[in-house]
Structure 1
Amino acid sequence: MRLHRRLQNQAVELAAKNRWDEAVEVNEQLISLGESTDTYNRLGKAYFELGRLAEARDAYRNALRLTPNNLIARKNLDRIEELLARSATHSVSLKAGRQLVDLRLFITEVGKTALTSLIDVQRGPALAAVVTGEKVELRTDGRGVAVYDTEGTLLGRIEPKLAQRLGELMAGGNRYAAAVAHIDGRQLRVLIRETFQSPTQRGRVSFPGKLSEGAFRGGFIGGAQFDDFGEDILEEEEGVEEREEVEEEVFGGEEEELGLEEIEQDIGEDEDLSEE
């Protein structure tokens, strides 16, 4: 039992560090000790990240064999089968050069991190291959801000009020990093973090509001991990469940996303300061 628990914790940590080859080995060791739906889900994720879709499909099928109503396995299996079908017609390929990040690194201090849902989310093979933790790029586009994957494919856009603010801050010299926090159908949510504040923007908070506070309260720093398609944190077996947090709790939920009213209020405060 002690060995099982140690391997289980090791598998979670390896996934957090994107060490997928080792994650495969550890999860396979766990399976040799006894089959588990959770282990097969983790194994499927690791195989997927390595681009081994057929093996990922088999892992999720095994998860469903043990627990036919497991939503994580069902959703991921459907996604993989879609990708395999497209690959057969040469219409899609996994992004070999994509960069994955530990989302915990995005939580720094209040006002420096925001979670937002994209608008004008694009359909297509690129979106189908997006995974949680994937690094994306922010590019100003007129008065808007667009979000691209690392291969230069448009994924969606930041909603107008936040985009206006981000555009102004980026034009003023601020720099930001972004990564996928949640993907579900055509809903795509990204975490945005200020990585550099220009001296010209000193004293100006990038993201006013309670978003970062909500992320801290959710226990995100404590090591919560998500599955690759933005579902709830992969469920662990008894004894590890206290480490789990549901995705909405971790990120503060919809009501704690950066509010338009707070952006407008802060824009007004910025204008008042400039007049002084």
Structure 2
Amino acid sequence: MAEFAERSKPRAQFVDEAINLALQSKWTEAAQVNRAILDRFGPEEETLNRLGKAYTELGQVDEAVTAYEGSLKVNPVNPIAQKNLTRLRSLRAGKAPVPASQAKLDIDAFIEETGKTAVTALHVHADETACSKVSGGDPVKLIPEGDSMTVETARGIALGHLEHVMGRRLIKFIEGGNRYSGAVASCEGTNIKIILRETYQDPRFYGKPSFPVKKGGREEFRPYAKESLITRTSEVEEVEEESEEPIEELEGMHTLEPGEEDAVDTADSDEDTRKEDIY
């Protein structure tokens, strides 16, 4: 019976399992789940990128290279596979050890579909010294306070609060049963950005994305991974779309700046959201 249940699991459930294992730095198990996805559903660039990441963290350079090469066979211009292949081939040629990840959370693990993840700037009420105690990839937690959503690190360092509309939206979802994880994306002075991911959606919110995208830009987005903000020095890349407001979707993520009320409606206004955007 258990074997039948495993065989009947939908792809989205496998993907969630692989991502959650990566969030916990359980790279051996993450690699196993991603291999299972490939065996069951065939070659997929996102899965191959996740597998390459897991092998990299395990120090298995040859296997990581093979995984990223497989991703490029599916999509020859996949920037994540290209970037990681260049780095890994250099490491292999120089026989240098693969640097181990020092953080518990990896931004690569936030690979997901539109509506599930977002990068947003905080309204900061911390002093400039906060960033000397924080680095990219540090886990953050969301703390509802009235109708505002305060953000602090797992170690209790206060960072700021979410834009009001977004904060109220997530408070409603959290009170209804949704769960979220997050991490610092970048921190410079009083400019702090975090990345958030919906880790569980209560059935009552089916069809209502946590982070809705402007309808006019929906077709321009593709969910695939970007370079880690934890183990690399690259920062969150911002992509200019033709719309008036910046929206990012390099990993199934988009950027939400304070005041983007059009991009983040209240939860009751999403009746026309497409089911394809939700697991």
Residue 118 (structure 1) aligned with residue 122 (structure 2): yes
1:201 and 2:230 matched: no
- 1:131 paired with 2:135, answer yes
* 1:224 partnered with 2:227: yes
Distance 2:153 2:56 in 1: 21
Which of residues 241, 247, 251 in structure 1 aligns to 2:237? 247
Displacement, 1:247? 2.2
User: Secondary structure at 2:246's aligned position in 1?
Assistant: helix
The range that moved more, 199-208 or 150-159, is 199-208
The answer to whether the 8 Å contact 1:107/1:216 transfers is no
Cα distance in 2 for residues equivalent to 1:183 and 1:15: 29
**Residue identity in the other structure for 2:159:** L
Return the match for 2:176 from 158, 167, 172.
172
Letter in 1 for 2:262: E
CA shift, 1:140, in A, is 0.7
Rounded to whole Å, the distance in 1 between the matches of 2:263 and 2:54 is 38
Matched residue SS, 1:264: coil
Give SS of 2:263's match.
helix
Larger CA Rg, structure 1 vs 2: 1
* Closer, same or farther: CA 132–214 of 1 in aligned 2, 3 Å: farther
Match of 2:38 in 1: none
Q: Tell which deviates more after alignment, 174-183 or 119-128.
A: 119-128
Alpha-carbon offset, residue 167 of structure 1 = 0.6
Q: How does 1:255-274 map to 2 (within 5 A)?
A: 255-256=246-247, 257-258=255-256, 259-264=260-265, 267-269=268-270
Q: How far apart, CA to CA, are the structure 1 residues paired with 2:220 and 2:228? A: 13
Is 1:162 the counterpart of 2:144? The answer is no
Cα deviation digits, residues 176-215 of structure 1 (max 9, x gap):
0111112222111111111111122222221110699799
Cα deviation code 1:221-259 (max 9, x no counterpart): 1x523366x9536xxxxxxxxxxxx72249xx9701233
**Structure (1/2) with the larger helix percentage:** 1
CA contact (8 A) 1:132 1:227 kept: yes
Aligned equivalent of 1:145? 149
- State TM-score, norm by structure 2: 0.51
How many Å separate the matches in 1 of 2:130 and 2:54?
26
Unmatched segments (≥5 aa) in structure 1: 1-11, 20-26, 34-38, 51-98, 234-245, 271-276
Q: 1:143-179: per-residue Cα shift (whole Å, max 9, x none)?
A: 1111111112211110101001011111111100111
- What one-letter code is carried by the residue in structure 1 that aligns with 2:246? E
Residue pairs, 1:1-12, within 5 angstroms = none
The two structures have a TM-score, normalised by structure 1, of 0.51
Structure 1 residue 16, shift from structure 2 partner:
7.1
Cα deviation, residue 262, structure 1: 2.8
Going from structure 1 to structure 2, the CA distance change for 1:137 and 1:214 (only over 3 Å counts) comes to farther
Contact 2:115 2:209 in 1 (8 A): yes
Partner of 1:107: 111
AA paired with 1:264? Answer: D
RMSD over equivalenced CA pairs, Å: 4.3
Which structure has more relative contact order (CA 8 Å, sep 6+)? It is 2
Identity over aligned residues, as a percent?
Answer: 29
Which whole-Å CA distance do the structure 2 matches of 1:185 and 1:15 have between them?
35
* CA distance in 1: counterparts of 2:127 and 2:220, whole angstroms: 29
Alignment partner of 2:123: what SS? coil
- SS in structure 1 opposite 2:228? coil
